[in-house]
Each structure stands twice: as structure tokens, then as C-alpha cells.
Amino acid sequence: MKWLPLVFCTLLTLTTKAPYSLSMDESFYIQAANDFLTGAHNSNYQHPPLGKLIIALGIKLFGNTTFGWRIMSAVFGSLCLWATYALGEELAGIGIYFMLSTLMGGFLVIHSHVAMLEIFTVTGIVFGHLLAAKLLHAKKYKRHLLYLMGCATGCAISSKWTGLFLLPFAIAFIGLHAITFRRFLDALLALCLIPAIYLASYIPFFIGPYAIDFSEFITMQQDMLHFHDNVMAPHIYMSLPASWLFQLRSIWYACEFDNQGHMQSLCLTGNPIILWLGACLLPLACWKIRNKNVAFLLASYSLYYIPWFFSARETQFLYYYFAPSIFLGGLTGVLLKQKQRTWHLAIASLFFIAYLPFALGFPLRTEYRHYWMWPSGWKWSKDS
């Protein structure tokens, strides 16, 4: 099963052209990526630059095409998949289950297929938690793990501010090792890597014809905060955090039709076989909180889910549940027995296969959409 991330990356590479139109927020990030390449004024200040720079790398290497736009998302999705395997093995020897539940959960496939920022942030988050688990289980002091965790945290935050949810985890696990003066210096250096990487991601803004100074950089951060605190406009696919537990509102990122009546779509629903069971097992996880693996994964899940209930941002979407859904899958694996895990994945695979065409833009008859998107909250906006 260790070869699965490579197969996954190959599949995504072969399907990056579908759909041909830009999906959801791709237009903003692809334009920003091209701005970096051409030296034009970059108008997309709403998120930090690293994810857009990674998209720009794909465009630089493979051209300003659908393949160039999305190839780096496929690469990082495969890295994220491998990291879930490694994390599962590190925690409880459930690497295969953790990896497959992440793959079939619905979020990873679609975000590895579009040029959006979530996959870069979530990959940094999962690597951060993998390094935290290694620090937790390390029998000997390994300073390089501290440095790597600082790097993973810095990269996650530099892609999107949702990576800030990783910061308390990083501070806690790095700080716990500062028990001697030498280790304190190592921990301090590891933590300093976080703002250093964030600042480094803005280097393109500090050079060139539209260079900014540090005061303008601070103003940019303030504008970013103001933007996210004041996103109030209603959206057809917006949903409340409480509804994410059972995926009551899907998101149609794109939907195209041809003259033969076929459609190509990108739709995020989440796999209810994976996620509904996980939601139902949350009370059991709280009951078994003394198990260190349960505690680790429950804390990870809560860290990325609960803050959304207190967010000033009113316009929220199901894809904010991406990171929590990964840790919920791992938590389910820890709570289930081996035979239960096998049956769970077998049943979940049926839903995954049925809905995979909606996540990869495969051509489908229109009737297929009406047949499978039966919940009212999953319907395309024009079908509602």
C-alpha cells in the first residue's frame, strides 16, 4: 500500500484537464500566481503567498494550462496521503486504514485536483502532526524534529491563515523539549523558523517594481485580518460548522455540459460512510480520552474544528472541515477493531467509487447527477 500515493498522483495528473473552466476560487489564485511570474502588481492580498508561489512553480514548469495550474496540488495531495500513512503507523500501527480513510473521505481527492490553497495548508498541518507524534514517541532527543516541525508550521501558515491552528500544537510539542539550556536554544530556533518562513514567503512583495516596505507589509496583514473578519455576503453553498459533521451542504466547484448531454463536475460532498461513523464515535472518543492515541487525535480534530464556531466570519464552507476530517478518520481507526476497520473501508469504498466521477470531472450523463445527489443539500444550485 506504500505505492498508493504514487498511483494517486498519477491518476490526478491524467485528469487535471477536467474541467477546463476555472473552479471555485481558482481564478484568484491562478491570476496571483501569474502575477508573480510576470512581475505584475499582485492584487490577491487575502491570503499569504506561499500556496500561490507553489502554483506559480507548476505554471513555470508546465505552462499556463490546466495541467500547469493543478499539477502541484496533485503532488502535495500525494505527499499528504503519504503523511497520513506515516502518522497512522507512528500512532497505532493503522497506517493503511488512516491513508485509505483520508483518500476515501472526499476532501483530499477534490483539493488535489484544483489550484486552491487548502491542499498546501493541510499538507503542512498533517506533516506537523506527524512530527509531533515522532517527538512524542522518540526515545532519544532529536533536535532535527523540532526544526522540521517549525518549518512545517511556518509553511502551513504561509499558505493560508488556517495553518495558525497548528501553532499551539507546535509551541506545546517544541516547548516540552526545552528542559536544558541547549535544548531551550534548539526550541527557540525551531519556533523562530515559523515567522522567518512566513516573512520569506513575502520576498516577491519586497522586490521588483511594486516593492513594499515593512510598514506596508504590516498594513497588508491588517487588511487581511479585516477581510476575513468581514466576509458576510451570503453564498449559495455556505454552511454552518455544526452541519459539517454530517455534510448537510455540498459545494459544486464547477459544472460543465457538452452537446451530448454529458456533464463534467467537481463536487465536494464528503464520504458519509467515513465521516458519519466518525461523528457518531466522538462521544466514545471522549470516554476513552485516557488512551494517548485517542487523546492525540481528538485534540488534533478539535483544534481545527471547534474554532470555527467562534469565528467572526459568517460565510463558511464545508471545505473548512478538510483538516478535521482527516484526524476524524484516524480517530475512527483507533477506536475500531481490525475486522471492523476492514468492513468499514469495504463499505466506504462503494460510496467512494460511485462519487469519484464528481470529484475528478469525469463525463457523466445528466441523469447520473440526479440519481446520486439525492439529499437536497447536495444538489447543484440550479437543481435545487
- Contact between residue 80 and residue 156 where contact means Cβ atoms under 8 Å apart: no
- Domain hosting residue 85, numbered range: 4-378
- Grid cell digits, residue 20: 477546463
Question: Distances in Å between the alpha carbon of 64 and those of 27, 47, 70, 212, 262?
Answer: 12, 21, 10, 27, 26
Does residue 384 form part of some domain?
A: no
Per-residue pLDDT of 191-218, as tens digits, reads 999 999 999 999 988 887 778 888 888 9
- Rounded Cα distance, 94 and 90, in Å: 8
- Contact between residue 91 and residue 333 where contact means Cβ atoms under 8 Å apart: no
Does residue 186 form part of some domain?
A: yes
CB atoms within 10 A of CB 376: 10
pLDDT reported for residue 207: 84
Helix, strand, coil shares, percent, the chain, to 5: 70, 5, 30
- Rounded Cα distance, 207 and 211, in Å: 5
Does residue 272 form part of some domain?
A: yes
pLDDT higher than 70, residue 380: no
Per-residue pLDDT of 59-77, as tens digits, reads 999 988 888 988 999 899 9
Q: How many domains does the chain have?
A: 1
pLDDT higher than 70, residue 337: yes
DSSP 307: G
Ranked by mean pLDDT, the top range of 4-18, 107-121, 260-274, 364-378 is 107-121
SS3 label, residue 68: helix
pLDDT reported for residue 382: 53
pLDDT reported for residue 139: 81
pLDDT higher than 80, residue 262: no
pLDDT higher than 80, residue 231: no
Backbone angles phi, psi at 265, to 5 degrees: -135, 160
pLDDT higher than 60, residue 381: no
SS3 label, residue 93: coil
- Entry pTM: 0.92
The CA dihedral of 37, 38, 40, 46, to the nearest 10 degrees, is: -20
Owner of C-alpha cell 493503522: 94
Does residue 197 form part of some domain?
A: yes
pLDDT reported for residue 206: 87
pLDDT reported for residue 120: 96
Helix 66-92 and helix 322-335: axis angle, to 10°?
30
Does residue 31 form part of some domain?
A: yes
pLDDT reported for residue 106: 87
Residue 10 identity (one-letter amino acid):
T
Supply the mean pLDDT for the chain.
Answer: 85
Length of the chain: 384
pLDDT higher than 70, residue 13: no
CB atoms within 10 A of CB 339: 8
- Rounded Cα distance, 301 and 333, in Å: 14
- Rounded Cα distance, 72 and 84, in Å: 18
Of 201, 202, 228, 237, nearest to 217 by C-alpha is 202
pLDDT reported for residue 240: 87
Does residue 383 form part of some domain?
A: no
Calculate mean pLDDT across residues 314-321. 86
Question: Distances in Å between the alpha carbon of 202 and those of 15, 58, 304?
Answer: 32, 19, 25
pLDDT higher than 80, residue 374: no
- Rounded Cα distance, 73 and 58, in Å: 9
Calculate mean pLDDT across residues 18-37. 80
Number of H helices, E strands in the chain: 19, 3
pLDDT higher for 129 or 13?
Answer: 129
Percentage above 70 pLDDT, the chain: 87
pLDDT reported for residue 379: 61
